[in-house]
Amino acid sequence: MNYALLVQGAPYSQQAAHSALRFAHALIARGHTLGTIFFYHDGVYNASRLATPPQDEPHLVEAWRRLHEDHGTSLLVCIAAALRRGIIDEREARRHGKAGYAVESPFELTGLGQLLDVHSNHDRLVTFSP
């Protein structure tokens, strides 16, 4: 089956993102496809390329990126939730005159409408929220 996950919890604040990651690995181990992860609300912090956790702790941003590299999972980030939290990509940084940026490929800023498409294009959508 083709799965999608909706992640609404920030990394290292609540358990949601960690639960989602463990679920992601488990569903792939069972032979399913993880087509998309959609990051919404505080979940957008999972997309920050600047995240630098201690080396002996799980690196969530890196783990999401690896899902994309190893399994082709799309990593979609709600643009409205992200911009207001300072989670912007290079293009948005230029547009708003900011010196730095926090989002880079394979994470993609996208509209909330994409979540509706994700819902209809996948067999299962499972929400992980704080």
Partner 1 sequence: MLLHILNRSPASSRVPLDTLRAMGDNDWLLLIEDGVYGAVGPLADEFTSIQGRVFALKEDLVSRGLENRHDATIELVDMDGFVALTEQATQTVSWY
Q: Give the shortest CB-34-to-partner 1 separation in angstroms.
A: 11
Contact between 23 and partner 1 per CB under 8 A: yes
Angstrom CA distances, 43 to 30, 31, 98, 105, stand at 25, 26, 22, 17
Contact between 25 and partner 1 per CB under 8 A: yes
How far apart are the C-alpha atoms of 36 and 11, rounded to whole Å?
A: 18
Phi-psi region of 12 (alpha: psi -120 to 50; beta: other; left: phi over 0): left
Q: Binding residue for partner 1 (CB under 8 A) from 32, 49, 59, 85?
A: 32
Give the footprint of partner 1 on this chain (CB under 8 A). Answer: 1, 3, 15-16, 19, 22-23, 25-27, 29-30, 32, 124-130
